[in-house]
Structure 1
């Protein structure tokens, strides 16, 4: 089983203690959501998993992979894909060129082409804009493009940071439905999302982070019904 397991992770940015004795598990096939206010450590958790920053202490394993010893490009090659906040698409390249870049570590061009077509089938709006420059897309379309680019890489574990940020409610709902469909096709998802209601609607389980620590955890239903979560993140 390719479960993601973090144990007693401590992470520092110079003197700032960003993650404090953090432990969590994402089982293969799950969607797990990380909830918390700005500065709680959610993005730091994703960055540590994908190798962009290094933990000072603790253990981080994904299946047989020791994530604390992996380089980011090796993680990508193994199927660990990270879509950061802000989408980070290439604005002067076309939609199709952006998608193909997602397969830069895939040696079989036929596999890249097939995955790109599968992304178009999953998100027909991208197919309609195949030759359009990425920078001319709407925010929702750019988020779909970021998702599609990751899918061309063949993700087994997908790290998603704020996929609905800045999107109109209807478009945000569509993006979250796409994430749910990607998971149904076999991709494990660790989701950071400010819209806690939307995140818990599609997640199997969740963790609440405060000041770099896990303060609550449980099934999505349990967290959605917890008075503390309702007061802090869901509203009345």
Structure 2
């Protein structure tokens, strides 16, 4: 049974339809990539799953529970955590304070501290920057803070929206390595990316979407050599 299933979901922004019968699923322990050009509906897909946007039809199930109309804080409490596009960290707060916000729904502060210590073990550079303001960090470091903050919420499934955006190739490789490590620890991942090459290297399966609907899906290894994907996203 999929840990997440989105079936025939439609979303409108006013009269503009953003998702058109969007369907996808993520099995437990998978990394699933969602690829597509700007405006394809990738960000809307994650926002609708996490409750930031409302589906006008269709259904979304997480761990066999209907979350189609769930509120964002409810999905977080259930272990479904969304790292939005653009990092969205608090620039005037320290790294530690940003991480602490990931435990906002956790009453036991000792548990929050343990989770932050785990993030520091995974991302030692953040430990060294613990007291530094978020806005003074590099783009790659800010992305790590955003991911670390999500990990403090103790996700069963992590949704990442364009984590490689604006980063240098070496930093992209580091971010993707961290995502792989998070997955290996047992967290399922839904990864939205324009950097198809980087995403397909770490994903188990992938969907390509256009105009708010899936156009191609399959095993990541197979799609990485599919002529349609190579021509559209990977180049020669």
Question: CA contact under 8 A between 2:29 and 2:183: conserved in structure 1?
Answer: yes
- Contact 2:2/2:25 (CA < 8 Å) preserved in 1? no
Does the Cα contact within 8 Å between 2:52 and 2:72 map onto a contact in 1?
A: yes
Partner of 1:178: 178
Q: Show CA shifts across 1:9-37 (max 9, x none).
A: 11111111111111111111110000000
Distance in 1 (alpha carbons) for counterparts of 2:159 and 2:67: 14
Aligned 1:157-168 pairs, distance under 5 A: 157-168=157-168
TM-score, structure 1 length as denominator?
0.98
Distance 1:37 1:209 in 2: 8
What does residue 28 of structure 1 align with?
28
Whole-angstrom CA distance in 2 between matches of 1:45 and 1:186 = 23
Distance 1:235 1:122 in 2: 33
Aligned residue pairs: how many? 236
- Aligned match of 1:51: 51
Paired residue for 2:14? Answer: 14
SS of the aligned residue for 1:44 comes to helix
**Which ranges of structure 1 fall in alignment gaps of 5 or more residues?**
none
- Equivalent residue, structure 2, for 1:64: 64
The TM-score with structure 2 as length reference comes to 0.98
Residue equivalent to 2:155: 155
SS at match of 2:214: strand
Matching residue of 1:203? 203
Output one character per residue of 1:175-234: Cα deviation in whole Å (capped at 9) or x when no partner. Answer: 110011001111111001111000000000000001111010000011101100000000
Q: Root-mean-square deviation (CA), in Å?
A: 0.9
